[in-house]
Amino acid sequence: MVSIRPCQVSDLLAMQNANLTCLPENYQMKYYLYHHLTWPQLSFVAEDEGNKLVGYVLAKIDENNPKKGHITSLAVLRSHRKLGVATKLMKQAQAALVETFDAEVVSLHVRKSNRAAFTLYHEILKFKIQEIEKEYYGDKEDAYSMTLALKPEHEMTIKDKDLKKEEKKPEPIKKAAKKAAGKKK
């Protein structure tokens, strides 16, 4: 059985390793620490019966808009996919954004080729495509910029134009730091 709980500082290394295993977008440890110290309520981990981390969601509040949340990263280990873990992680993060920060909307980026994640966001969680950001990723692949309203329309103060502001891209991990974090070639 997999359980979901808030992220603790002791999870950050396992979270970074899961990210290195699952995604081409990797971050330095200081970025995970910054997230955790700044928005401790917004990131969650999934763990198995043996307390091994099998998934995580890293979320934050947009530095330019306190009512807008952003999903920085989401991953589930291959061994635990298609069990609804990512859906649960995302729903926890969305609920925490509303409960803790009274967020009205949450945004994210996803590679155009990432069918699994796109289907999860679009079909299951009902995110809408806001725009296509050309060559958003380091390897020049385009991103869908997607948003989900967390409140009914009449309670929203955020306007459409606010949603198109570009998120600051996190600093990518250096090759040496990636090796040190244990990535196999």
Ligand X SMILES: CC(C)(COP(=O)(O)OP(=O)(O)OC[C@H]1O[C@@H](n2cnc3c(N)ncnc32)[C@H](O)[C@@H]1OP(=O)(O)O)[C@@H](O)C(=O)NCCC(=O)NCCS
Element (H or E) spanning 180, and its range? Answer: helix 175-180
User: To the nearest whole angstrom, how small is the minimum distance from the Cβ of residue 10 to ligand X?
Assistant: 22
Label residue 74 exposed, middle or buried (CB < 10 Å: 0-12, 13-18, 19+). Answer: buried
Nearer to ligand X among residue 126 and residue 165 (C-beta): 126
By CB under 6 A, name the one of 17, 41, 114, 130 that touches ligand X. 114
Q: DSSP labels for 121-144? A: IIIIS--EEEEEETT-STT---EE
Where helices occur in 62-174 by DSSP H, the ranges are: 85-101, 115-119, 160-163
Nearer to ligand X among residue 103 and residue 143 (C-beta): 143
Nearer to ligand X among residue 140 and residue 161 (C-beta): 140
Judged by CB under 6 A, the stretch of 61-69, 119-127, 128-136, 161-169 that binds ligand X is 119-127
The C-alpha angle 46, 49, 51, rounded to 5 degrees, equals 60
Nearer to ligand X among residue 155 and residue 166 (C-beta): 166
Nearest to ligand X by Cβ — which residue? 86
Binding-residue pattern over the window 55 to 84 for ligand X, x denoting contact by CB under 6 A:
-------------------xxx----xxxx
By CB under 6 A, name the one of 37, 49, 50, 123 that touches ligand X. 123
Spatial CA neighbour of 7 closest among 15, 96, 97: 15
User: To the nearest whole angstrom, how small is the minimum distance from the Cβ of residue 23 to ligand X?
Assistant: 5
Taking each helix axis from N to C end, the angle separating 12-22 and 29-38, rounded to the nearest 10 degrees, works out to 120
Q: Are strands 143-149 and 68-76 parallel, antiparallel or unpaired?
A: unpaired
The reply on whether position 150 binds ligand X by CB under 6 A is no
Q: What is the DSSP letter of 118?
A: H
Residues that bind ligand X (CB under 6 A): 22-23, 74-76, 81-87, 110, 114-117, 119-120, 123-124
